[in-house]
A and B are shown apart, each in its own frame.
Chain A
Amino acid sequence: MTELIRRLLRTPQGAVGAAILVLLLVICLFGALIAPEDPEKMNVLARFRAPDLNNWLGSDQFGRDTLSRLLVGARGTVPLALAATLLGTLSGAVIGTASAYLGGRADEAIMRSIDAVMAIPGLLLTLLVSSTLGKGSLNAMLAIAVAFAPGMARVTRSVALTVRRQDYVNAAIARGEGSAWIVLREMLPNVAAPVVIETTIRVAFAVMLFATLSFLGLGAQPPASEWGLMVSEARRFLHQAPWMIVAPGVAIALTAIGFNLLGDGLRDALNPRDER
């Protein structure tokens, strides 16, 4: 594990990605403490301030400090995107592993249903699910998890099919273990490695998807400081105060870049031969 981290940090992508994510972690944990002002505090005399020494990133239509809202908003965006990815990955991994373990007709039925769900473009599926669940951050998170699960199930199944043929699985079957035990305790831990790589790459996508749902009005609701929502609200004032759009936009992009770099670095660290 430490060897892997050392190799990861030696790749340029991995090092930069890790640096961005550590910064992000600090902001998520201590954002409210670092923030120069209360992100909800309105100030009618300081509306639409351009970036200056008092408001480094300017202020919005209620005179709220953009930098403070960004710092606090990290908590409204990143942890939920992470949770969505983990939930989607985990449920997808369990479905995929179970499908590979069961084999035969059950496997066929599960995989065909997954084909059906995946025939719907990703954002469309997420929109459908989140419109069914209703507006709100938590529901948006669930919708992303639902949209991620089929793809993860497919990836995991292909790995689990080889694991299924291993001796220790046959041994467990011979011992008379239950199906749930075999899937969860014998097979799942052994399909973890490729799934973890796939997951880091998807976190970037989840961050963007979550912000997009908020932008479309289905995720976080005002007056929350969520980055996608901030861009959406700032659109009405793009003429007076373009910095209101730029700041959260850059925050989303940096976060996604961080996770993408880390994912690429991880892939390189695990397959040192591949030069592309």
Chain B
Amino acid sequence: MSASWLLHRCLFVVYTLFLVSVVVFAITQALPADAAVTLLGENATPEALAAVREKLGLGDPMLLQYWHWLSHLLQGDFGTSMRTGQAVGPALFLALSRSLLLAACAILLMLVVAVPLGIIAALRRGGPVDLLAGLVSYLGVSLPEFVTGTLLLVLMADRLQWLPATGYVPLTDNFFDGLRHLVLPALTVSFILVAHVSRMVRSEMIDVMHSDYVRAARLRGLSKGAVLFRHALRNALLPVITIAALDIGYVLGGIIVVEEIFALPGIGRALIVAIEARDLPAIQAGALIMAGTYAVVNFAADITYALIDKRIRYD
């Protein structure tokens, strides 16, 4: 990994963020709501509306409005919520931190379940674990999060009463209780990931076990464990990282739905509330922060991949 490659990737992230800001701005500008009406209510006098429009610069040309928005963004000012009248940035970043915690739990859960499941399914093709993995992968890609989430809620929280149904407790307040509140949301988000990644691991593993170097390692008389862990696994898991990184997009989408189901005050729920209230600055900032997170995570995955795989030289 050369310095110029790293610089190139960094520039690409900045470029992506710029393009995303253009797209988000363009889409939200087409919102049918008049910001002045949202702010003052339906019964405002025309004079008051005109004054607010003047103040917000709503009459300015599109490019100028974009420039104002962008220059404020670059100074760390994400705008003022029309619903609460407070700065949207700090609230959204707090919400993002909760969402990232949820995402981290979901990804951890995915790794713990999907990798062993895929490996065992590949080593014992046609066995019970393989059938289970096949079933999970079908259900995972066919059940939307809001169905798995609500079904889990009915079963685990309502019928069995094992886990709390909704809400959020910060880990700093009560670590154990906070964790209990995260179990069902994390399970829901990770289900589709487990489905996808275990299938990937399985097919990569099957490929690798049939490859020449694994055969060579076996012929050299290495033990089964050494062949599996030192030779096969490393090469099988490599492509999985890229796929898992692409899945982060699904995770972000899943988080929006899951936070709504389990009343978890993260960025997805903040976005839904903003859309309900037609709170333009909050929608723009929320969407931009989510898309930005996506870009940065992909960047991180690229770097991890390059660090692990010495063969990759992008120059």
**What residues of chain A have their CB less than 8 Å away from a CB belonging to chain B?**
112-113, 115-117, 119-124, 127-129, 131-132, 134, 204, 208-209, 211-212, 215-218, 228, 231-232, 234-235, 238-239, 242, 245-246, 249, 252-253, 256-257, 260-261, 276
Name B24-53 residues within 8 Å CB distance of A: 24, 27-28, 30-32
Q: Which of A134, A212, A217, A249 contacts B151 (CB 8 A)?
A: A249
Cβ A253 vs Cβ B142 within 8 A: yes
Find the B residue at minimum CB distance from A218: B275
Instruction: Report the contact-size class of chain B (Cβ under 8 Å from the partner).
Output: 35 or more
Q: Which of A127, A128, A211 contacts B144 (CB 8 A)?
A: A211
Find the A residue at minimum CB distance from B27: A128
Cβ B257 vs Cβ A242 within 8 A: no
- Pick from B15-23, B64-72, B76-84, B226-234 the stretch touching chain A: B15-23
Q: Which of A116, A123, A232, A256 contacts B19 (CB 8 A)?
A: A116
Q: Is B260 an interface residue (CB 8 A)?
A: yes
Cβ A119 vs Cβ B291 within 8 A: yes
A30 to B254, CA, bound (A): 34
Name B275-315 residues within 8 Å CB distance of A: 275-276, 278, 283, 287, 290-291, 294-295
Cβ A131 vs Cβ B147 within 8 A: no
Given the known interface contacts A204-B142, A208-B144, A231-B146, the answer about A217 and B294 at a Cβ–Cβ threshold of 8 Å is: no
Given the known interface contacts A121-B249, A127-B271, the answer about A116 and B22 at a Cβ–Cβ threshold of 8 Å is: yes
Given the known interface contacts A116-B20, A119-B16, A120-B287, the answer about A128 and B28 at a Cβ–Cβ threshold of 8 Å is: yes
If over half of B's interface residues share one DSSP class (helix, strand or loop), that class is named, otherwise mixed; here it is: helix
Cβ B20 vs Cβ A245 within 8 A: no
**Which B residues are in CB contact (< 8 Å) with A124?**
252-253, 256, 271, 287, 290-291
Closest 3 CB pairs of A and B: A123-B253, A116-B19, A256-B142
**Which A residues are in CB contact (< 8 Å) with B261?**
235
**Which B residues are in CB contact (< 8 Å) with A234?**
150
Cβ B16 vs Cβ A115 within 8 A: yes
Cβ A253 vs Cβ B147 within 8 A: yes
Cβ B291 vs Cβ A120 within 8 A: yes
Cβ B28 vs Cβ A132 within 8 A: yes
Q: Is B235 an interface residue (CB 8 A)?
A: no
If over half of A's interface residues share one DSSP class (helix, strand or loop), that class is named, otherwise mixed; here it is: helix
Q: Is B139 an interface residue (CB 8 A)?
A: yes
- Pick from B85-93, B153-161, B177-185 the stretch touching chain A: B153-161
Q: Which of A215, A235, A239 contacts B257 (CB 8 A)?
A: A215
**Which A residues are in CB contact (< 8 Å) with B154?**
238, 242, 245-246
Report the minimal beta-carbon distance from B284 to chain A, rounded to whole angstroms. Answer: 9
A257 to B140, CA, bound (A): 10
A255 to B272, CA, bound (A): 27
Given the known interface contacts A216-B260, A216-B272, A217-B276, the answer about A260 and B141 at a Cβ–Cβ threshold of 8 Å is: yes
Cβ B31 vs Cβ A123 within 8 A: no
Interface string of B132-170 (1 = CB under 8 A from A): 000000110111111100110110001100000000000
Find the B residue at minimum CB distance from A252: B147
Report the minimal beta-carbon distance from A232 to chain B, rounded to whole angstroms. Answer: 8
Find the A residue at minimum CB distance from B293: A121
Find the A residue at minimum CB distance from B12: A115
A112 to B143, CA, bound (A): 33
Most chain B beta-carbon neighbours within 10 Å: one of A204, A215, A252: A215
Report the minimal beta-carbon distance from A80 to chain B, rounded to whole angstroms. Answer: 15
A228 to B147, CA, bound (A): 9
Q: Which of A120, A123, A231, A257 contacts B20 (CB 8 A)?
A: A120
Cβ B253 vs Cβ A252 within 8 A: no
**Which A residues are in CB contact (< 8 Å) with B142?**
204, 208, 253, 256-257, 260
Report the minimal beta-carbon distance from A48 to chain B, rounded to whole angstroms. Answer: 14
Q: Is B58 an interface residue (CB 8 A)?
A: no
**Which B residues are in CB contact (< 8 Å) with A127?**
256, 271-272, 275
A113 to B20, CA, bound (A): 10
Most chain A beta-carbon neighbours within 10 Å: one of B144, B206, B252, B261: B144
